Amino acid sequence: MYSINALETSSKEDDTKWLTYWVTYACFTIVDFFCDFIVSFIPFYWLLKCLFLIWCFAPLANNGSTILYNRVIQPLFVKNRKSIDEVLNKAASGAAGLAKDVAGKAFAGKSE
């Protein structure tokens, strides 16, 4: 709800705040997904995860998502931007090629 409200206002500040949160949340979710087997051994992990997420979206000027984005995510992204762009371009090219192959086979199958 807050994200939609931020989009509907003319202020850029609230948009930046919520985009920062969602980028931080996405990065955390990726790490959480791949480390699931490790974190399953941490007692009270779900409670800690819940508290972490509350800290990230707390209505404070410097909440967790702002701090993590500015100190961890942004520097890593800036440092690895070229590599990230290359990987995304390869993935997009591969997906486009796959879509063409599938569409071509589907069209060929209908004409038979």
pLDDT digits (tens, 9 = 90+) for 42-71: 889 989 999 999 999 888 888 999 999 999
Q: Which of the four pLDDT bands, split at 50, 70 and 90, describes residue 109?
A: low
pTM: 0.68
pLDDT tens for 17-50 read 888 889 999 999 999 999 888 887 888 998 999 9
Rounded to 5°, the CA angle 67-72-77 comes to: 125
Section 69-80 average pLDDT:
92
For residue 98, what pLDDT band results from cuts at 50, 70 and 90? confident
